[in-house]
Amino acid sequence: MADIFDASINASILGTGEAEAIAWLERAEQQVLAAYASQIQEWRSLLQAEHGCWCGPGHRCEEEVDAMDGCCHHHDLAYDSLGVSADTMWTAAAIMKTRDADRTLVACAAASGAPGEDSAIVTYRAMLEQIFIARASIGDLLATI
């Protein structure tokens, strides 16, 4: 998994040279990321949990098992189209670049609940929503730098 400050990966995602990415990363760390560093590390650990084929890092099978798994599948496809993977999603540039995809995931997951769902799915959905809406907000802050 890539480090949040990996200059070459951030440059690739930003579409800039490494020197420009390093300058942006320095501003990002000072203005935004220092305040969230421990929280981001915790989220990285929590999101190792899996649900269905598509929720969690990568995917384990092809067929969506339920509506929330479908939301995760579409989120993965959105990340793919942005050039972001499970390995690079926690870089500063990826947090900024994926904020719309993260908001879409949160809205989809919130609408995917079904009566009588297993408590583990309800708990997973709540965690997913909390992490990705906060991640999108951090992305918004990064976009102002």
Q: For 61-106, how does the pLDDT look when each residue is reduced to its tens digit (9 = 90+)?
A: 999 999 999 999 999 999 999 999 988 999 999 999 999 999 999 9
How many domains does the chain divide into? 1
Tell me what pLDDT residue 133 has.
Answer: 96
CB atoms closer than 10 angstroms to residue 11: 20
Q: Where does the pLDDT of residue 58 fall: very low under 50, low under 70, confident under 90, or very high at 90 and above?
A: confident
Q: Give a yes or no: residue 1 inside a domain.
A: no
CATH of the domain at 108: 1.20.90
Residue 61 domain boundaries: 7-143
Q: Give a yes or no: residue 2 inside a domain.
A: no
Average of pLDDT values for 17-38?
91
Q: To the nearest whole number, what is the mean pLDDT of the chain? A: 93
Is the pLDDT score of 2 beyond 80? no
Q: Give a yes or no: residue 128 inside a domain.
A: yes
Q: Quick check: 141 and 35 in contact, CB under 8 A?
A: no
What sign does the dihedral 8-49-134-67 (CA atoms) show? positive
Q: Give a yes or no: residue 32 inside a domain.
A: yes
| Reported pTM | 0.91
Taking CA atoms, 11 is separated from 25, 109, 129, in Å, by 10, 31, 28
Q: Give a yes or no: residue 75 inside a domain.
A: yes
Q: Give a yes or no: residue 36 inside a domain.
A: yes
Tell me what pLDDT residue 63 has.
Answer: 95
- CA separation for the pair 75, 72 (Å, rounded): 5
